[in-house]
A and B are shown apart, each in its own frame.
With several copies, the nearest count.
Chain A
Amino acid sequence: MEHIWINISEELPSISDVHSFLYASQGGGVCVFSGITRLQTNGRVTEKLSYESHKTMALKEMRRLADVATERWPVLRIAMLHRTGTVQVGEPSVLIGVATAHRGPAFEATQFLIDELKKSVQIWKKESFLNGEEEWVSTIWQDTD
């Protein structure tokens, strides 16, 4: 079985399927990060986020990042899963999971993958506030690792 699971779609796989995939590595440590639509940002109350991707480029870039992590840490399995469309407050937009034999590299690789995903994967987020304002989140290009 392929050790990397990459997906972009309107719905995330279930969190238990993600864990089953990672546990099946029979490694000792599994770290899973969920990025959630936060209720408040800089004092404004968020109603929802909407995500859009250049799907073919984004999938390739996620695969590249997983390959970098696989070279850099002794990872057994990696899951990188991102939603598109509307994500309500308290719901996850992204799941990053890594299974390793020992726990240290699971934390490091998971944090690396979410940090890098935010810098380079071709996905964009629009924020809708409870007061009716909407805006595409404005960022700058950051150096990738």
Chain B
Amino acid sequence: MIVVTLRFFSVLREAFGAGVVEVELDPGTTGSGLIELLAANNEDFAALQSVVRLAINDEYVELDTPLSDGDDIAFITPVSGG
């Protein structure tokens, strides 16, 4: 198993009730695999899954990127600052 940190903001933070969560995943899990997993368990997340961007260690990555032990994974919904 690998352990990764998930970071949620704004609507997703409220959907999961937490901003930072550590989870165990099967080795070889990809970004899109993780998104499917979360969408299956949270319908607010599911509603946004098509627009979520994934960042690992503060850099956006393709969704088919395999995750590694220790990754810091941020789920970025369309921004609304300013």
Contact = CB atoms under 8 A, between A and B. Distances in A.
A and B touch in their complex, CB below 8 angstroms? yes
Interface of A: 35, 51-54, 56-58, 60, 82, 93-94, 114, 117-126, 136-141
B10 A124 contact: yes
Interface of B: 7, 9-11, 13-14, 51, 53, 55, 58, 74, 76-82
Contact of B55 (A57, A82, A140): A57
B58 A94 contact: no
B82 A118 contact: yes
A57 B76 contact: yes
B79 A120 contact: yes
A117 B80 contact: no
B54 to A, nearest CB: 12
B81 A94 contact: yes
A52 B10 contact: yes
A59 B77 CA distance: 17
B74 to A, nearest CB: 6
Contacts of B77: 124
Contacts of A125: 80-82
Contact of B7 (A51, A54, A58): A54
B49 to A, nearest CB: 14
Given A57-B58, A60-B58, A51 B81 contact: yes
A126 B79 contact: no
5 contacts: A56-B58, A57-B74, A82-B81, A121-B82, A124-B81
Nearest to B72: A56
Given A57-B74, A124-B77, 17 more contacts: A52-B13, A53-B9, A54-B55, A54-B74, A82-B81, A82-B82, A93-B82, A118-B79, A118-B81, A122-B74, A122-B79, A122-B81, A123-B80, A123-B81, A125-B82, A136-B14, A141-B51
